Amino acid sequence: FFVLKFTTTIKNKKDHPFYKELKDQKYSLYDFLNQQFVPNFDNMHVRFLCGDNSMPFGAANKSHLELAKKNLLNANMLFGITEMFDESIIYLKKELGWTNPYYSKVNVAKTHNLSPTSIDSETKEMILKCNQFDLELYQFAKELFVERIKMLGPDFKKEVDLFKEKNSQIKARLSLRNYFRSFITRFTQG
């Protein structure tokens, strides 16, 4: 889905390096992936976590995946899971000694008309091929994250529930503050 959102974003951003290429050539998502323009569209997370983001498109393999998994197992490697965002925040709070890590959503991407169900089977197959190791890494990371928060004991869930409640109470204040901050930043930069 990341690839789908990103290529849609490219088509709408005139200053993107691949905007002209996509527009002029009228590439479909399948064609764009098949051209292998952007190496990070090929198992991006495995590339970053194995420490070799310079490899060519299609070069990520099982050994890179195993190295990425090994790096995630390192006790000093902290990470969270997007679908478990509040749990991730509290986990990081505990590990890093944060206080009051409340948040509000800012800079949220616009939704696009494309959806995974509107993609033909050939394109879906290409997307899965380009992300096969990332999908396996994600499943591994999610299981590892769940194990890490289980080790924090039964009070962890209570803390997350309390955090969600408090965060929702102050979210309006944070949103207003972030709105004014971004407004002021736009007019004071450059």
pLDDT in tens, 30-78: 888 888 878 888 999 999 999 988 899 999 999 999 999 999 998 788 9
C-alpha dihedral (77, 81, 84, 87), degrees to nearest 10: 10
pLDDT at res. 38: 80
Helices (H), the chain: 2-12, 19-25, 29-35, 44-50, 62-73, 85-96, 121-130, 132-150, 155-188
Tell me the pTM. Answer: 0.76
d(CA 43, CA 56): 11
